[in-house]
Amino acid sequence: MAMRIRELIATRGWVGKGRLASFLYYQAARIASSLGQWGIGRNITLHNGARVAIHHRSRIQLSNSRIIVQGGTFRVGVTQGYFDSTGQGIPPASCQISLENAELHILGDVSLYPGCCIDARNGKVTIGGNTLINGGTHIMCKESVSIGANCHFAREVVVRDDDGHPHGPAGTEPHNKPEGVEIGDGCWIGQRAMVLKGVHVGTGSIVAAGAVVTKDVAPHALVAGVPARLVRENEIWRP
């Protein structure tokens, strides 16, 4: 069965359309992961007993790209967010992962709640273990987006390492280019916050709801506002 699923993934470049495909995919992942350090497909590999669970409405598109799951379970659209604990109201589009010449590294248990989108072109996205990413969050990557372990993202967060359009003073070369984003371990990113290109958010930091982070954030800082400014230092939060 694993062979057939592998071929399906390799030839069509997507998985998870329809309940049957979702079920078969999960079973194949279980079989493949039980074989140890071996891949479910040419472009999705599971290491150290890793598993994947993909909601049947989620969509994964891979073009010359790979997803590497290093242990734990990668849940894509199958777990509800904080505001949906009843299990009602799963958005019809669920999650979308779209990679082109890119890699997604999942380092342990990671949940993307329904409505998340990871869109990477020519880049590398890394998400650490025990990190929860709430619904509606968009991660856009052209170079590198690294999210640490034990992070909590509220709903509708945006992380992007690129502005999307080149710009600059008329008559000059555009001055903006992609710059990697790094969010350290144990960060809490509030609802509708944005973390923009080149930013390093220090370990254990809190980004308030609606903040637009354009500059580095020190470890254990609380930042808020547009653009985000330091509100308090040595702040601790609990999951």
Ligand X SMILES: CC(C)(COP(=O)(O)OP(=O)(O)OC[C@H]1O[C@@H](n2cnc3c(N)ncnc32)[C@H](O)[C@@H]1OP(=O)(O)O)[C@@H](O)C(=O)NCCC(=O)NCCS
Q: Which spans of this chain sit near ligand X (rule: CB under 6 A)?
A: 82, 152, 154, 190-191, 206, 208-210, 222, 224-225, 231
In whole angstroms, the minimum distance from the beta carbon of 196 to ligand X comes to: 16
| Length reported for the chain | 239
Is 33 or 205 the residue whose CB approaches ligand X more closely? 205
In DSSP terms, which residues pair with 44 in a beta bridge? 67
Is 13 or 210 the residue whose CB approaches ligand X more closely? 210
And the tokens for 88?
């009602």
Residue 213 contacts residue 207 (beta carbons within 8 Å)? yes
In whole angstroms, the minimum distance from the beta carbon of 110 to ligand X comes to: 16
The span from the CA of 82 to the CA of 104, in Å, is 25
In whole angstroms, the minimum distance from the beta carbon of 238 to ligand X comes to: 12
In whole angstroms, the minimum distance from the beta carbon of 83 to ligand X comes to: 9
Contacts of 186 (CB under 8 A, 6+ apart): 148, 149, 150, 151, 203, 204
Is 45 or 111 the residue whose CB approaches ligand X more closely? 111
Q: Where are the alpha helices (DSSP H) in the chain?
A: 2-12, 19-34
Q: Which of 72, 201, 211 is nearest to 154 (CA)?
A: 211
In whole angstroms, the minimum distance from the beta carbon of 50 to ligand X comes to: 26
The span from the CA of 156 to the CA of 153, in Å, is 8
Is 171 or 239 the residue whose CB approaches ligand X more closely? 239
Is 89 or 227 the residue whose CB approaches ligand X more closely? 227
